[in-house]
Amino acid sequence: NAGVTQTPKFRVLKTGQSMTLLCAQDMNHEYMYWYRQDPGMGLRLIHYSVGEGTTAKGEVPDGYNVSRLKKQNFLLGLESAAPSQTSVYFCAIGPTVRNQPQHFGDGTRLSIL
Amino acid sequence: AQSVSQHNHHVILSEAASLELGCNYSYGGTVNLFWYVQYPGQHLQLLLKYFSGDPLVKGIKGFEAEFIKSKFSFNLRKPSVQWSDTAEYFCAVNAQTGANNLFFGTGTRLTVIP
């Protein structure tokens, strides 16, 4: 999916391990978002950023941290993974013009054992 | 905060049948509305959007949606579905003022039988 690249695509972790998911964009959008997608629950916003150096909590931020040191990158960290964090994680980007859609990455499937 | 309801969790249709997926939102202010589609194993893609003007909007692949402000609804329609429309469909909303966050419904899985 041109514009938004997520790495890795798949990962299996053990409970208590840490990891970082990377989202990189080449569309120069200000806004970046991290969502998790769980069956029957749609997409829920974890954290988001309205610009370089800024982050904010979304609907389900507990257990996650984020950083946006560079405009094009938005990192999602799990400090101590828990089985409840097994999910598919999507990064999205969006312009400041709010009637324009967000663009999504291909997702990261994360399993916590 | 906004919320979005999609009451149809799983819809099964035969090819050529007509489709209507319901979407209702709750928010007191002015909103932008979106329908996204997610084909199996893929990312979300925009089908169509509404932010002002004609409440009947047309999107890609023959889909359309109608915004009815009095009912807080934005239902998705297609007159004749194809097997390739099998996917999950998400309605989403963001406010035209305040925090620019997108709120998603729980999604409707559509299965089209050839």
Query: What tens digit of pLDDT does each residue of A36-46 get?
Result: 999 888 899 99
A101 at the B interface (CB within 8 A)?
yes
Of the partner residues A41, A58, A106, the one whose CB lies closest to the CB of residue B101: A58
Cα–Cα distance measured from residue B101 to residue A15, given in angstroms and rounded to the nearest whole number: 31
Query: Per this entry, what is the length of chain A?
Result: 113
Instruction: Tell me what the pLDDT averaged over chain A comes to.
Output: 92
**Separation of alpha carbons B2 and B27, rounded Å:** 5
Given an 8 Å threshold on Cβ–Cβ distance, is A98 in contact with B94? yes
Lowest mean pLDDT among A61-65, B89-93, B101-105: B101-105
Distance from CA of B97 to the nearest CA of A (A): 9
Residue A1: pLDDT band by 50, 70, 90 thresholds? low
Percent of chain B having pLDDT more than 90? 76
Instruction: Check whether B7 has a pLDDT greater than 90.
Output: no
* Closest among A21, A36, A5, A11 to A103, alpha carbons compared: A5
The verdict on a CB contact (< 8 Å) between B101 and A40 is no
Per-residue model confidence (pLDDT) at position A2: 62
Out of B6, B51, B90, name the one closest to residue A99 (CB): B51
Across the interface, do B42 and A106 touch by the CB < 8 Å criterion? yes
Phi, psi angle pair for A14, to nearest 5°: -95, 150
A97 pLDDT above the threshold of 90: no
On whether the CB atoms of residues B11 and B19 are closer than 8 A, the answer is yes
**What's the rounded mean pLDDT across residues B89-93?**
95
Alpha carbon distance A54, B88 (integer Å)? 32
Give residue B76's pLDDT: 97
Q: Which residues of A touch B90 (CB under 8 A)?
A: 42-43
Distances (CA, A) of A13 to A46, A63, A80, A89, B55: 19, 15, 10, 14, 47
Q: How confident is the model at residue B105 (pLDDT cuts 50, 70, 90)?
A: very high
Which tokens hold the place of A76? Answer: 């999602």
CB-nearest to B105 from A1, A42, A94 is: A42
On chain B, the residues whose CB falls within 8 A of the CB of A104 are 43-45
Window 68-107 of B: residues touching A by CB (8 A cutoff) are 90, 94-96, 100-107
Query: How far does A14 lie from chain B, in Å, by closest CA?
Result: 24
